[in-house]
Each structure stands twice: as structure tokens, then as C-alpha cells.
Structure 1
Amino acid sequence: MEAKSLWVLLTTLLFIIQGRRQTEGCLEQERIALFQLKSFFNNSNWVDVKGSNCCEWKGVECNVTTERVIGLDLGFTRQWDNREWISDPYGYLNVSLFLPFEELKSLDLSGNEIADLVDNQGWLLFMSSMTD
């Protein structure tokens, strides 16, 4: 194969690989977990559009190599209207929703009036995964 043909082939493969990476974003299990969190943190711009890269969503930080979520900034994201919370009015957060984020290293939940955490076992597993 001559050099020009090889260069064209490699360039084409690079564009295909780059295009694939841009449309996939984070892992599917983490995408699902983000949408489960969205119901609690309802003031989010996360939109389930085919091809959207959840690593580019506001408040989501991903590892550029593994494409796994490594940081979530969910501070002050719960909405309320007329002194009532639009989502869970009692602010009980199920921490097992964070378990799919195996590489999560930073998490900001401040300013959301979280009354308590549900599923203490999930919380212990989650906290132990963040300290590894």
C-alpha cells in the first residue's frame, strides 16, 4: 500500500473513532443513574437526546480516558415553588443512586435542603469507593 493511501485510511479511521467517542460520552449505566438523580435534582439541563454526551452536561465531569463520571456538582440544584419543593418535598436522598459512579471522586450536594440519606448500606459502600 502506498504512503498516500495509508495516510488517507488512517485519517479516515481517526475521524470515525473521534466521532464515535463524541457521541457516546459516559457509560450507559452512568447515564441511567444521572437520569435517576435528575428526578431529585430537578433543576438540571440534562436532556436525553440521542447522541448527547453526558460528559458535557452541566455539573458532570468525566475522566477523559475512561469516560467515567469522576465529579458531580449538584449544589443548589433542587427547585422549589411557593415554599414547596417541586421534587421530593422531604429531601430524602437515596444514596444508592450514586453507586454506578465507580470512579466518582468529588460530589457537591450543598444547598439542596437534604433532610436525610436513605440506604445507609449504600452510603457506606459509596463512601468506601470514594476513598479508594
Structure 2
Amino acid sequence: MQVMKLLLTVAFLVLVLVLVLVQWENVCVSGSDSVQCREEERLALLHINASISFPIHSLEGKWEGKECCQWERVTCDSITGHVTQLDLGISFDDDDWLDYYQDGSLLNATLFLPLRQLRSLSLSAHGIHNCTDGSGLEKWSNLTKLEILDLSDNSLNGSIIYNLASVPSLRKLYLSGNHINNSLPNFNGFEYWSNLTKLEMLDLSFNQLNITMISSLAQVSSLRALYLDYNYMMGGSVPVKELSALNLEVVSLTGCLYSGSFPDLGHWSSLKALSLADNLLNETLTSEGLCRLKNIEELDLSSNNLLEIFLLVWEIFLLLS
């Protein structure tokens, strides 16, 4: 009898918990739908879309009305109504992308300042070459919540490095597919980023970085993931020692034209994922260096000398069996 009462009590409590969760979900959904858009931020969004190299054509006729929190590509805080995410990135998969793309356009960074709670911003593939006079990216130092910034596939050069040093809140930064190199006078690479103490992920693939610039990344001590794919000016050897001061967990060096022997990877003992695919590494690869990668979970050595890699895998198999 007591067991039956206990079972009924448990069943009743479970039912009450389910009803409470359902009601809470309804409240959250209702609150998200009814959140009030901030008028200052709504106007800022309209100015931004009108001023960038080409307005997002998929938004034509959709960014209308007072409730900007319900607009496409805009995400707001469900309680305060502040804009927290803005995705104005363009996909190369769009059929009419080339009809809109304008290489060499200028960005007015001050237009984003009303979005004080912005955490994530994408402006990829807008052909941005630089900023308008007096409104550079250093203005974004006032966007103290900005953590994720995507400026990939534009036409930015090394000057962007100076400006981004003023945005210490950045945690993830995408700069692939630009024209970042050391052509600027008195350019010292990434030494200006030493104050970016929160930056954990950096994508600099498809630029023109040399070994000097790569070495200066050691100043960004917080980096955990680094993508440097297809930087053909980086030199002939893998920059293991140059980046040994960093506690990297992910490194991708695909297609950098590295040649010769495989490096001693013991300096990267913290790595969990490494790609050296599509290079010209062709000398004997031994198991000693790779066995120091105690935490490795993903390793891509494809499109090098497959025979040597096969022999290495077989040697490691024999050691573990």
C-alpha cells in the first residue's frame, strides 16, 4: 500500500513538473515574439544596409515596420530588445552574387555604434577595402560586447591589423580571403594585437602572410585555434618553433607549399587537431614526433608523400599492438 502511494506521488510530481516546463516554454516564446525593438537600433540597421557596398538584396521589402527584432538576419535579446547578432554576410553560392559585389568599397564603422549590445557581426564578401575617413574600425572599441567578427572574403589589407587592436572584446575573428600582407611601411605584423587577450580563434587563410608575420602571432597568447590555409608566402618550413609559445589546440596549415621533412611536432603537445594536407612534404616521417602529440584527435596529412605516411601509420600500429 505504501509503495502504491509513493508511486502515485512520484507520478503526480512528474506531471506537475511537465506542466510547469510547458508553461515556461510558452512564456519564453511569447516573450521573444513580443519583444520591443529599440528605435535607435532600428534606424541604425536601415542606415547600415543602405550604406554598405551593396544592400543585402534578399532583404528587399523585408526590413520594414517597427519590429526590427523580427527582421531576417537580425537577432535580439528576448528581454531587453537590444540587437545581439547581425548577419549581413554574403554567400558565394548566391546565383546573382557577382551582380552585387563591388570590390574596393568603403565601410562606415560608426554606423554600428548604436548597436551597443552587439555580440556577433558578419560582413563577409562585401568587397570592403577600407573604412571611410574618420570612421575606422577603431571606433568599434565602444562595442564592448562584440565577441565574434566575420570580415572574410573582402579586400582588406594590413592596415586592418592596426584598427582591430582597438577591439579587445573579440573572441573569434574571421579574416580569410583578404589581402593581408606586410606591404605597409613600418609594419610589425601582429604585435599590435597583444591586448586582444580574449581572442581564442583566428582564421587568416587565403592571405599573403610570410613567416615574419606568422611569428608575430606569438604575441596573442590567448589563441587556441589558428587557421592559416593557403598562405603561399609563408616559406618552406612549418612554423612550429615560431608558434611554440602558444598553447594551441587546433592548427590548420593546408596548402601552404611546405616542402622537405616533417617537423618535430613536440612543441605542439597541446594539439587536438592538426592539418598539414596538400603540401609538398616528402621526406621520411618518423613516429617519434607524432607520438608526442598526446592529445591529438584529428590528424590530416593527405596529399603529401602517401607512401611515407602509410609506413608511419603502420609503424604506429605495430607500436600500439
TM-score normalised according to structure 2 size: 0.29
- Quick one: percent identity of the two aligned structures? 32
Q: Distance in 2 between matches of 1:122 and 1:37?
A: 15
Distance 1:113 1:121, change over 3 A: closer
Q: Distance in 2 between matches of 1:62 and 1:119?
A: 30
Please tell me whether residue 48 in structure 1 is matched to residue 64 in structure 2. Answer: yes
Q: CA deviation at 1:64?
A: 0.9
Residue in structure 1 matched with residue 138 of structure 2 by the alignment? 124
Residue in structure 2 matched with residue 91 of structure 1 by the alignment? 105
> Are the counterparts in 2 of residues 38 and 44 from structure 1 also a CA contact under 8 Å?
no
> Are the counterparts in 2 of residues 99 and 122 from structure 1 also a CA contact under 8 Å?
no
Distance 1:32 1:109, change over 3 A: same
Kindly provide the amino acid, as one letter, of the partner of residue 122 in structure 2.
D
For 1:19-64, what per-residue CA distance to the aligned partner results, in whole angstroms no more than 9, with x for missing partners? 9x73x63200000001101212242424322x4x211211111111
> Are the counterparts in 1 of residues 86 and 120 from structure 2 also a CA contact under 8 Å?
yes
Q: Match of 1:37, SS?
A: helix
Q: Distance in 2 between matches of 1:31 and 1:44?
A: 18
Please tell me whether residue 35 in structure 1 is matched to residue 46 in structure 2. Answer: yes
Residue in structure 1 matched with residue 198 of structure 2 by the alignment? none
For 1:84-104, what per-residue CA distance to the aligned partner results, in whole angstroms no more than 9, with x for missing partners? 648x77421100000000000
RMSD: 3.2
Distance 1:44 1:120, change over 3 A: farther
- Count residues in correspondence: 109
Distance 1:112 1:89, change over 3 A: closer
Which of 61, 65, 87 is 2:79 aligned to? Answer: 65
Gap regions ≥5 residues in structure 1: 1-17
Q: CA deviation at 1:127?
A: 3.5
For 1:54-83, what per-residue CA distance to the aligned partner results, in whole angstroms no more than 9, with x for missing partners? 112111111111100011000018x9x7x6
Larger deviation: 59-68 or 112-121? Answer: 112-121
Q: CA deviation at 1:111?
A: 1.4
For 1:90-128, what per-residue CA distance to the aligned partner results, in whole angstroms no more than 9, with x for missing partners? 421100000000000110111111121225555223144
Q: Distance in 2 between matches of 1:105 and 1:115?
A: 23
Please tell me whether residue 76 in structure 1 is matched to residue 90 in structure 2. Answer: yes
> Are the counterparts in 2 of residues 95 and 122 from structure 1 also a CA contact under 8 Å?
yes
Larger gyration radius, structure 1 or structure 2: 2
Q: Match of 1:115, SS?
A: strand
Please tell me whether residue 107 in structure 1 is matched to residue 118 in structure 2. Answer: no
Q: Match of 2:128, SS?
A: coil
TM-score normalised according to structure 1 size: 0.64
Q: Match of 2:47, SS?
A: helix
Distance 1:55 1:119, change over 3 A: farther
Q: Match of 2:107, SS?
A: strand
Q: Distance in 2 between matches of 1:85 and 1:63?
A: 31
Report which structure shows greater RCO (CA 8 Å, sep ≥6). Answer: 1
Larger deviation: 91-100 or 121-130? Answer: 121-130
Kindly provide the amino acid, as one letter, of the partner of residue 49 in structure 2.
K
> Are the counterparts in 2 of residues 62 and 68 from structure 1 also a CA contact under 8 Å?
yes
> Are the counterparts in 1 of residues 84 and 117 from structure 2 also a CA contact under 8 Å?
yes
Higher helix share: 1
